[in-house]
Amino acid sequence: MNIALIAHDKKKDDLIRFAIAYEQIFQEHSLYATGTTGKRIMDATSLSIHRFQSGPLGGDQEIGSMIAKNTMDAIFFFRDPLTAQPHEPDVSALIRLCDVYSIPLATNMGTAEILIKGIERGDLSWREVAKESGVEPDGNN
């Protein structure tokens, strides 16, 4: 599976701890991240991560492009709901794309725990079937 890891500045430490805790699960998948988040996770773990630009410089949009091409399977985006983000329109667009393409999105530790356990059990195997058949998750071809 292709999995994206994104975190706002005040949530990066949380995502790093999460990646350390579930490193064995993450290492079985292709990982993508926005700039600084990806670097910090790689520094703290042995995970290999394809790094895009930082979020404000277009990294969110690069991940959004993968969603639109049906090549992203799950996103862990630890958001800071209490701090205004200068690139909020990009954040909103990314969340909207997840809804349009039925991409599982965890925006906090609670949903992240559920999503990573689902990935571990194989609950997202429908993503592989959808990609192989060329059928988008909403049923369109």
The residues annotated with a catalytic role in the active site are 60
The β-bridge relationship of strands 105-106 and 74-78 is parallel
Q: Please, what sign has the CA dihedral across residues 6, 7, 9, 12?
A: negative
Closest CA to 85 of 5, 14, 9: 9
Q: Which amino acid is at 27?
A: Q
Contact of 94 with 125, CB cutoff 8 Å: no
